[in-house]
Amino acid sequence: MRETLRETPDMTGYAFPGTYPTTRMRRNRADDWTRRLVAETRLGRDDLVWPIFVTDGVGPREPVSSMPGVHRLSVDLLVETAGEAVRLGIPAVALFPCVSPDLRTDDAREAVNPDNLLCRAIAAVKAAHPGLGVITDVALDPYTSHGHDGLMHAGRILNDETNAVLVEQALVQVRAGADIVAPSDMMDGRIGAIRRALDEAGFSDAKIVSYAAKYASAWYGPFRDAVGSSSALKGDKRTYQMDPANSDEALREVALDLAEGADMVMVKPGLPYLDIVQRVKQAFGVPTLAYQVSGEYAMIKAAAGNDWIDYEAALLESLTALKRAGADAVLTYGAADAARLLQR
């Protein structure tokens, strides 16, 4: 006997009318136009941020061996690449410097040099492409001889002393033209210190995106190759980056950074931490970014290079997953590839 139409509660607590064969879920999947019409998550070029590595000199395009398709660019080539971002409709680039080893010191003094590599790169990009957003990394690991994100004494990372340097680093970057400073160091209290300093210096419109939930992850290796800090790093970063086992702690970190003046928050890495992205977005409803980190990108590229997966499909699927979890924007080394695919 045919079952009559009834309200059927599912595991989410919602009630849905009907059962098979009255209800056939495949109807809405049958055609391309209906799939597009009922799509719950939309990935667009406006959702992308392109991380780019910059190096000294004129003309070099140095490949990063562990990140196929990614290069360290001189400032002149960076300006050209930023122009490509504009043409592709990517709203912003995130700049990371590969600093010469002879400029790396225990006190990271090159980080606060107003004429350092990153500041010159910022100024060049903003002069050529004023409408392109420029996000800059506020952390000391590209500048320290020991490869850590903070000042070190007797094997211990110093929190408050590091914050004083981070404040000066953020100021020189904003003076050079950075639109958003992004503290990625995970020192306690650095968001409030940077916000106060920016406001007092007349930069109340400068934005802060905090790497609020940044984990001590195994997925960062290729990035450290790209910025040249992997060989310099002594020990690990577990005393200041988060334990991958913790979830509630991430919400406390985000709450503190928002209270201190963060305009946006970041979860890093991305795909291995989809649950964190979702919890942060649901708990706070603030602009939430996710970083598809170097190891994630390298994994997709390596599998595609062996013909195990389709690179284009995997890239778009992974970015859509981050959007579905709640990310408002995603930093990805595949930003240009994704933008081209989305343009078609």
- pLDDT, residue 230, reads 66
In a domain, residue 225? The reply is: yes
Tokens representing residue 127 in the block:
């002069």
Distance CA 181, CA 110 (A): 17
- 16 inside domain: no
How many structural domains does the chain have? 1
Q: What is the pLDDT of residue 16?
A: 66
Q: Six-digit token pair at 242?
A: 């988060």
Beta-sheet strands, E only, within 124-198: 133-138, 152-153, 156-157, 180-183
pLDDT of residue 228: 76
Domain annotation covers residue 273: yes
**pLDDT at residue 11, rounded to an integer:** 59
In a domain, 333, yes or no: yes
Secondary structure (3-state) at 35 = helix
Alpha carbon distance 215, 272 (integer Å): 10
For residue 2, is it within any domain? Answer: no
249: tokens are 């702690």
Q: Is 268 a catalytic residue?
A: yes
pTM: 0.93
What CATH number does residue 244 fall under? 3.20.20.70
**Residue 6 in domain:** no
Q: Which domain holds residue 98?
A: 42-343
Domain membership of residue 31 (yes or no) is no
pLDDT at 1: 41
Catalytic option among 126, 207, 237, 268: 268
**Which parts of the chain sit beneath pLDDT 50?**
1-6
pLDDT of amino acid 232? 75
Quote the pLDDT of residue 218. 94
Burial 137-168 (b: 16+ CB within 10 A, else e): bbbbbbbbebbbbbbbeeeebebeebbebbbb
In a domain, 4, yes or no: no
Of residues 216, 248, 247, the one with CA closest to residue 233: 216
**Which candidate, 174, 217, 175, 208, places its Cα nearest to that of 190?**
208
Choosing from 126, 207, 214, 237, the catalytic residue is 214
Residue with tokens 């492409």, as numbered in its chain: 129
- Residue 71: phi and psi, rounded to 5, are -130, 155
